[in-house]
Amino acid sequence: MKAFTLERYGKKRPLQLADVPTPEPRDDEVLVQVHAASVNQLDAKLRDGEFKLILPYRLPTVLGHDVAGEIVKLGRSVRQFKVGDAVYARPDDFRIGTFAEFVPVKETSLALKPKALTMEEAASVPLVALTAWQALVEKARLKKGQKVFIQAGSGGVGTLAIQLAKHLGATVATTTSAGNVALVKSLGADVVIDYKTQDFEDVLRDYDVVLNSQDGKTLDKSLRVLKAGGKLISISGPPDPAFGQQIAAPAFVKLVMRLLSAGTRRKASSRGIDYSFLFMKASGSQLREIAGLIDAGAIRPVVDRVFPFESTNEAMAYVESGRAKGKVVIKLR
């Protein structure tokens, strides 16, 4: 099969289009013929080598964390799905590889594609929707009437998180540029801050939850807009000791995480704020719930551009430019 492979780590290093063996599904997996995949910042960070400590992939490997397609083969123990099912997924770590014609996916990480979406739209959903779900539903336990600040509202995670937070009944604040104000308001944002002309720290007070996706400076400011008892959930680091436990990291890596997050955890604790790092995990059961919300019209994906498969490197570059509104998708079929 054709696949875009990462031969070795390197900043902005192009992926190589290659012929590689079609993978065989394990007993608990299905083989999905990829109709569409989407590009995430995570793909670029993996390619650049930023996650070598956390996710030590053996190279060469195929990147790609989102897929929508059709099941063409079942592992021996698979019971929930059949050949021909239209499905979507975020494959598990160390089983990624959706920048390819076929990808094996664990049965427990898979869900039927939302009926309301095309394959391209469905491929844009899994990683960002699971991130939003695990941050707001699992970690924050966001409730009706609470206030949540979601940074970078026009980005991939932001566009889904705003809608999910509104569905949960929260008041939502977000940051974006002037050109995207109408977009984030249409998704449900109540308070919109133009990050180029305003400082969110001057506008927001006594928030219950912050979903941080930006740098360390923004993380520090986020502590100051939360009330005592609030929750600061970061998807951009620093990783905390709980995450080290979650991934069963080696002792040295756990120590590094503890040191990296020590300052943030100390500042949060002094303000009575709960700090946690989120690195989303695959979940078919959560994708089924998300599909229900999509088919009910509660949330919708935002797709900026669709690139042909052979332009995968161009799609990666477009995502890295930071100009994308919502998601960038690669179409194979």
Segment 91-126, tens digit of pLDDT: 999 999 999 999 999 999 999 999 999 999 999 999
- Quote the Cα angle for 145-150-152, to 5°: 155
Segment 197-221 shows an average pLDDT of 97
Rg of the chain in Å (alpha carbons): 19
* Ranges of CATH 3.40.50.720 domains, the chain: 128-277
Q: Is the pLDDT of residue 83 over 90?
A: yes
* Ranges of CATH 3.90.180.10 domains, the chain: 2-125+301-331
Here the tokens at position 309 are: 């498969």
Give the pLDDT confidence score for residue 97 in this predicted structure. 98
Cβ partners under 8 Å of residue 229, min gap 6: 208, 272, 273, 274
Cβ partners under 8 Å of residue 205, min gap 6: 225
Q: At 273, is the pLDDT very low, low, confident or very high (cuts 50, 70, 90)? A: very high
Q: Is the pLDDT of residue 53 over 90?
A: no
Mean pLDDT, all residues of the chain? 97
Give the pLDDT confidence score for residue 244 in this predicted structure. 92
Q: Is the pLDDT of residue 204 over 90?
A: yes
The CATH number of 2-125+301-331, from 3.90.180.10, 3.90.1640.10, 3.40.50.720, 3.10.180.10, is 3.90.180.10
Give the DSSP H/E element, type plus range, for residue 150: strand 147-150
Q: At 294, is the pLDDT very low, low, confident or very high (cuts 50, 70, 90)? A: very high
Segment 77-88 shows an average pLDDT of 98
How far is residue 321's CA from residue 299's CA, in Å, rounded to a whole number?
26
Q: Is the pLDDT of residue 242 over 90?
A: yes
Here the tokens at position 314 are: 């161009």
Segment 189-201 shows an average pLDDT of 97
Segment 138-146 shows an average pLDDT of 98
Amino acid at 17: L
Q: At 58, is the pLDDT very low, low, confident or very high (cuts 50, 70, 90)? A: very high
Q: Which CATH class is domain 128-277?
A: alpha beta
Characterize the bridge pairing of strands 147-150 and 226-234: unpaired
Give the pLDDT confidence score for residue 54 in this predicted structure. 86
Give the pLDDT confidence score for residue 128 in this predicted structure. 98
Segment 133-137 shows an average pLDDT of 98
Q: At 157, is the pLDDT very low, low, confident or very high (cuts 50, 70, 90)? A: very high
Give the pLDDT confidence score for residue 141 in this predicted structure. 98
Segment 252-271 shows an average pLDDT of 95
* Residue 245, burial from CB neighbour count under 10 angstroms (0-12, 13-18, 19+): exposed
CB 126 within 8 A of CB 40: no
Q: Is the pLDDT of residue 44 over 90?
A: yes
